[in-house]
Structure 1
């Protein structure tokens, strides 16, 4: 995604976030089709993924997956559930307080880790099993963000999520 020039009106609007975000939940997928493992801290490897996650040795474009905490109740409502556990949605990080889509194509930090938002994290067919019929569509547009790890380090619960200028 090509961002508008930083000195344009649209560029300024897109660069302005209401406040920093916060890491609310962390999980890793040890292997395909296995339950997520919830952790309080995880090591992010430069150019790779998260230690303990099945995508650890991947291309890097999907080194970390994030979903917005504010979308969880909406996904639950659209899929006919009172609530949805973060682990069912198979994203590594649940983040609150800022619109994740605003980080697509931008660099941002979680604690000391530098990431780059690479693409929307579209739902997969497993959402039908996890959420029931229509689960895939319940998540469309709210699947979150994929990110590349540019500078590794530890990501912890409560870490701030801030866009780089």
Structure 2
């Protein structure tokens, strides 16, 4: 199963980094360059294990995913329930760990894995998909770094 990963150090503690990662609505759109919309499903108002979300990617692709783990302030994990036709499977996780030699900083690690379909095209599609997804995840985590330094985003999580 192909895997892509991106890591960045952000200038906030893990609890703050985790909180930024779970923002929604206009606050989320300030930093998340990957999406144009995201919301919880089935009446959920906050993220938690088992909660489903619908995410619309900036190119118009839509995915329904479910949180399979939710461990503030260290990690979240998800799996795709329904998504673009070319993904047979997709999942991912975001981890937040203190940086030992930099108090008040967090190492954010985002990892995704996937399989493509149809199976006869998967070897080529997965090579191309790895390159494209890596570029998108790098851009997305760079936006997250900016969000962790954005006073509007930080004020929004303090208001919760």
TM-score (structure 2 length as normaliser) = 0.31
Q: Higher strand proportion, which one?
A: 2
Q: Higher helix proportion, which one?
A: 2
